[in-house]
Chains A and B, each alone.
Chain A
Amino acid sequence: MSEASANAVVEIRCTVNAEPRAFRAYPMARLLDVLRGELQLTGTKEGCGEGECGACAILLDGELANSCLVPALHADGAAIITIEGIAGGDQLHAVQQAFLECGGAQCGICTPGMVLAAVNLLERHPNPDDAQIREGLAGNLCRCTGYMRIFEAVVQACRASGVHR
């Protein structure tokens, strides 16, 4: 690893959605492209490519990160969660179930990142107030909903208290 250069593909090992994965990528390749390309996890979306919209949000070692700004090398040894890892098999996460019931998704393109952000918010603040919800989701742009139904979904997910690991 000490001889890594930007022009040479390197081997990267991490866990993605609790499964060990190994792949080869350029160190500065965007993690977003590795997820969507090599790993064929197309749930994570590109909205802006500059870390503004949050559509590419994932959990990287438990922290919300915009994968369009994460170099692939940074994923080495990390635990990554994408939208595909949020539901427990056929059982939706409480946040996803709440999105369905409250109308949190309209066109759906921001939804994967927004769900990740909401899951992460509830891990940090299991019973967030309005200000904490707004702050926690401020890195995820939604053009369709005006955010109201998303806030409601977060509150509903709290009530259902189904935050599972």
Chain B
Amino acid sequence: MQREPYIGSAVPRKEGREKATGRARYVDDLSFPGMIYGATVRSAIPRGRIRGIHFDPAIAWNEFTVVTARDIPGKNVIALIVDDQPCLAEQLINHPEEPVVLLAHADPYVLEKARRAVRIETEPLPAVFTIEDSLAKKEVVWGEDNIFKTYLVQRGDVDAAWENAAQIVEGEYFTGAQEQLYIEPNGMIAIANPQDGVSVWGSMQCPFYVHKALAALFDLPKEKVRVIQTETGGGFGGKEEYPSMIAAHAALLAWKSGKPVKIIYDRAEDMAATTKRHPSRTRHRTAIDREGKLLAMEIDFTIDGGAYETLSPVVLSRGTIHAAGPYFCPNVRVDARAMATNAPPHGAFRGFGAPQSIFALERHFDVVARRAGLTPAEFRRRNFIRKGQSSAVGQVIHEQVEMGKLLDRALQLSDYQAKSKRFALENPTSRLKKGMGLATFMHGAGFTGSGEEYLASVVSVEASREGKIRVMAASTEIGQGTNTVFAQIAADALGLPYDWIEIAQPDTSAVPNSGPTVASRTVMIVGKLVESAALSLKQTLQRANLLSPDFTAAEFASACSNYIAAHGALKSTVQYQPPPNVHWDDVKYQGDAYSAYAWAAYVSEVSVDTTTFEIHVDDFVAVQEVGRVMNPVLATGQIEGGIAQAIGYALYENVVWREGRMMNSQMTNYIMPTSADLPPIRVFFEEQPNDYGPGGAKGIGELPMDGPAPAIANAIEAATGVSVNRIPITPEVLMEAMENVRV
């Protein structure tokens, strides 16, 4: 077929028309006959023993379905990595908003009134709320020592290196929690009974995670649990693991009531009760020589995991591996740990540990640069990792990395030099002070190490008699463009029109498990499997002599018709194979951590109002090397959206905690950027095709989250001369730093 490939072109979004006309159906748009509503009664205290549950006699409880832990047919656990998180608290409370009782009723207003009429009688126990208190074991609230997980990465001899240092620079950096704030709150609808099993529909990223959790909770065989993803209004990681909990709750109410049950969280419940980004504390100690070359890096990295382990070991892993950045340093130690506190468990959020450790590193390196007598750019240029060198975990870089060129391009596009000079001249006499800041970083795509091998993802592609193609995978469309890019890949592999490709709705009873929609893996890993399955299907027809070399779409349709008439079906299924020569040692925590990295240089221009301490980002330049741009509109949209979230992380999104509870759990007082707050976000791509992705693509979903916060903090220092080492940098935080006053 003579036409331009779809890969690399801005084909319209597969489900774009439905979204633009309001016809796309999200879970709260669905209704089932006889459906009733569910609500959750949650703990008001951070830690304690449950002494009793009291139901106000003013409510006609006989009208309600009431579920407690005793109603759970299988194990009272939300299965994920370790089985420490209960579905419903039974004897102990370990965080505010922990679910204890479930209620269902046909009238959602009556239901809400009843929810407030259940009192959980508790005997409070002492709790811990900070990394410091958890480390100090003020109370042991989890395991023997509050430690979910530790990692130790070592290369060379850090301790010996200090003697030879020209400069030793120390710093401590903090990042706060961040709420994913998908505009569609969490929601599920369940139908469940002992005869037929459990079916749930809802907003989610990972249908098979929910499937695994429900099978364990209900003690059902796999075939009796069915999970279907409905159109999902944003995820960003916030719907990676949490949906298993809300699905379990809806299913328990459905099981007991015999009716379909819908649970939709209102915004306040969603913000207060569900996962957020792990807060972090990073300590750096860095030795450099007289030329500003890195001699040693000692990094102490701690994240706050909240009350249960959930995904903290994996967040810690990614944060640890990214902690030393895209630089070469002969001696490195990264000592990392994830701690328990009595807050709702923290969880997946775009970047997954890397935004935390990269904030610390890129902020610290501006401090180191100054001590070395070098500009931020020049210090980094002298230390960027190159092809043939190995990273802190010992991964030899096999591709031609040109971090210096990416940085130069970003500096040029942002007019960094000229603006820096001009601002330096103007700032002393201006109330509005301006500054330029940069950050250089990388982000690994796919699951760490042997994770992809463990996932063993499977994809199927099937043809109909008319030659129409159905791609079957568990990867979910959550706005990032899964459906569109998979269709582009399949269409190119088969030589068919884009409109002939349909992406099956992720339904665990109908699609194979291609793994979760996380870790920037969807295009690179699963997209590659889509390509392989499509090619395999084409080969099947070719081997059967049903396709000429230059077949048209009509000829393809005939071939399918003939093949299916003879064989009954035409379907190809492929499974992930790890690339050769990619080896990871889980015990020593060394080797090839990721099969591909995207590389980036970001520059931020800020202005600081020294009367109000408000910070505004005036311009943002993002340059990244991503292997292959699959769809320029979608790829640009991913980077722009990620940068917007990261600007929020840096400046606006402050979670106010009181005793483990988020106090500002409404959009009124948890501030995310509006159209009036953001700068022009200018995105530039470079392409150095990667061996393992379809069309040479690497993963990009999380990359844009890593760079903006340190670039902005660095720009604020350039503007004001003040070093701020924590985010979010709200006006109060900046005022404190600039005036040395406690607010």
A residues contacting B by CB (< 8 A) are: 36, 42-50, 52-53, 55, 82-84, 86-87, 92, 96, 99-112, 115, 133-135, 137-151
Q: In whole Å, how far is B238's beta carbon from the nearest beta carbon of chain A?
A: 10
Which B7-42 residues sit within 8 Å CB-CB of chain A?
Answer: 10, 12-13, 15-26, 28-29
CB < 8 Å: which of A103, A138, A139, A151 contacts B636?
A103
Indicate if the CB atoms of A108 and B672 lie closer than 8 Å: no
Residues of chain B within 8 A (CB-CB) of A87 are: 21
B741 at the interface (CB under 8 A from A): no
B48 at the interface (CB under 8 A from A): no
B184 at the interface (CB under 8 A from A): yes
Complex: chain A residue closest to B267, CB-CB: A48
Q: A47-B183, A111-B20 are in contact. Are A151 and B233 (CB under 8 A)?
A: no
Indicate if the CB atoms of B233 and A45 lie closer than 8 Å: yes
CB < 8 Å: which of A109, A135, A140 contacts B234?
A109
CB < 8 Å: which of B19, B183, B633, B640 contacts A141?
B183
Residues of chain A within 8 A (CB-CB) of B478 are: 107
Q: How far is the CA of A133 from the CA of B674 in the complex (A)?
A: 12
Q: In whole Å, how far is B349's beta carbon from the nearest beta carbon of chain A?
A: 12
B517 at the interface (CB under 8 A from A): no
CB < 8 Å: which of A82, A137, A142 contacts B22?
A82
Residues of chain A within 8 A (CB-CB) of B10 are: 103
CB < 8 Å: which of B15, B20, B667, B675 contacts A99?
B20
CB < 8 Å: which of B12, B17, B481, B675 contacts A106?
B481
Known: A109-B234, A147-B675. 19 other contacts (CB 8 A): A42-B28, A47-B667, A48-B666, A50-B666, A50-B667, A92-B17, A92-B21, A96-B20, A103-B13, A106-B480, A107-B233, A108-B231, A115-B20, A139-B674, A140-B675, A143-B183, A143-B645, A149-B636, A150-B675
Indicate if the CB atoms of A146 and B233 lie closer than 8 Å: no
Indicate the member of B181, B233, B672 with the most A CB atoms within 10 Å: B233
Indicate if the CB atoms of B676 and A144 lie closer than 8 Å: no
Q: How far is the CA of A115 from the CA of B22 in the complex (A)?
A: 10
Indicate if the CB atoms of A106 and B637 lie closer than 8 Å: yes
B681 at the interface (CB under 8 A from A): yes
Residues of chain B within 8 A (CB-CB) of A82 are: 22
B591 at the interface (CB under 8 A from A): no
Complex: chain B residue closest to A151, CB-CB: B675
Q: In whole Å, how far is A26's beta carbon from the nearest beta carbon of chain B?
A: 10
Complex: chain B residue closest to A46, CB-CB: B28
CB < 8 Å: which of B182, B636, B672 contacts A107?
B182
Q: How far is the CA of A43 from the CA of B29 in the complex (A)?
A: 8
Q: How far is the CA of A146 from the CA of B620 in the complex (A)?
A: 12
Indicate if the CB atoms of A47 and B23 lie closer than 8 Å: no
B479 at the interface (CB under 8 A from A): yes
Indicate if the CB atoms of A145 and B637 lie closer than 8 Å: yes
Q: State the interface size on chain B (CB cutoff 8 A).
A: 55
CB < 8 Å: which of B16, B183, B184, B676 contacts A135?
B676
Give the tally of cross-chain contacts (CB within 8 A): 163
CB < 8 Å: which of A86, A109, A137, A147 contacts B184?
A109
Contact bitstring B474-494, A, C-beta under 8 A = 1, else 0: 000011110000000000000
Q: A100-B17, A147-B675, A147-B678 are in contact. Are A44 and B184 (CB under 8 A)?
A: no
Q: A107-B232, A108-B231 are in contact. Are A146 and B19 (CB under 8 A)?
A: no
Indicate if the CB atoms of B267 and A49 lie closer than 8 Å: yes
Indicate if the CB atoms of A43 and B681 lie closer than 8 Å: no
Query: What are 8 A-B contacts defined by CB distance under 8 Å?
Result: A47-B267, A99-B20, A102-B633, A107-B183, A108-B20, A143-B641, A146-B681, A148-B681
Q: In whole Å, how far is B111's beta carbon from the nearest beta carbon of chain A?
A: 14
Q: How far is the CA of A108 from the CA of B680 in the complex (A)?
A: 22
Q: How far is the CA of A133 from the CA of B680 in the complex (A)?
A: 13
Q: How far is the CA of A150 from the CA of B643 in the complex (A)?
A: 15
Q: How far is the CA of A111 from the CA of B234 in the complex (A)?
A: 12
B62 at the interface (CB under 8 A from A): no
Q: How far is the CA of A160 from the CA of B22 in the complex (A)?
A: 22
Q: In whole Å, how far is A154's beta carbon from the nearest beta carbon of chain B?
A: 10
Q: How far is the CA of A86 from the CA of B21 in the complex (A)?
A: 8
Residues of chain A within 8 A (CB-CB) of B611 are: none
Indicate if the CB atoms of B672 and A149 lie closer than 8 Å: no
B400 at the interface (CB under 8 A from A): no
B461 at the interface (CB under 8 A from A): no
Q: How far is the CA of A42 from the CA of B668 in the complex (A)?
A: 25
Indicate if the CB atoms of A105 and B19 lie closer than 8 Å: yes
Indicate if the CB atoms of A101 and B12 lie closer than 8 Å: yes
Q: How far is the CA of A143 from the CA of B19 in the complex (A)?
A: 15
CB < 8 Å: which of A53, A134, A145 contacts B667?
A53
Q: A42-B29, A148-B681 are in contact. Are A106 and B641 (CB under 8 A)?
A: yes
Indicate if the CB atoms of B681 and A45 lie closer than 8 Å: no
Q: A84-B22, A100-B17 are in contact. Are A141 and B479 (CB under 8 A)?
A: no
Indicate if the CB atoms of A147 and B644 lie closer than 8 Å: yes
Which B617-645 residues sit within 8 Å CB-CB of chain A?
Answer: 633-634, 636-637, 640-645
Q: A47-B184, A109-B183 are in contact. Are A100 and B26 (CB under 8 A)?
A: no
Complex: chain A residue closest to B637, CB-CB: A103
Q: A100-B17, A103-B633, A148-B640 are in contact. Are A141 and B674 (CB under 8 A)?
A: yes
Q: How far is the CA of A151 from the CA of B19 in the complex (A)?
A: 17
Q: In whole Å, how far is A152's beta carbon from the nearest beta carbon of chain B?
A: 10
Residues of chain A within 8 A (CB-CB) of B680 are: 148
Q: How far is the CA of A151 from the CA of B676 in the complex (A)?
A: 11
B266 at the interface (CB under 8 A from A): yes
Complex: chain A residue closest to B634, CB-CB: A103
Indicate if the CB atoms of A143 and B640 lie closer than 8 Å: no
Indicate if the CB atoms of A42 and B681 lie closer than 8 Å: no
Q: In whole Å, how far is B637's beta carbon from the nearest beta carbon of chain A?
A: 5
Q: In whole Å, how far is A141's beta carbon from the nearest beta carbon of chain B?
A: 6
Q: In whole Å, how far is B95's beta carbon from the nearest beta carbon of chain A?
A: 24
Complex: chain B residue closest to A147, CB-CB: B675
Indicate if the CB atoms of A109 and B26 lie closer than 8 Å: yes
Which B642-671 residues sit within 8 Å CB-CB of chain A?
Answer: 642-645, 666-668
Residues of chain B within 8 A (CB-CB) of A107 are: 19, 182-184, 232-235, 478-479
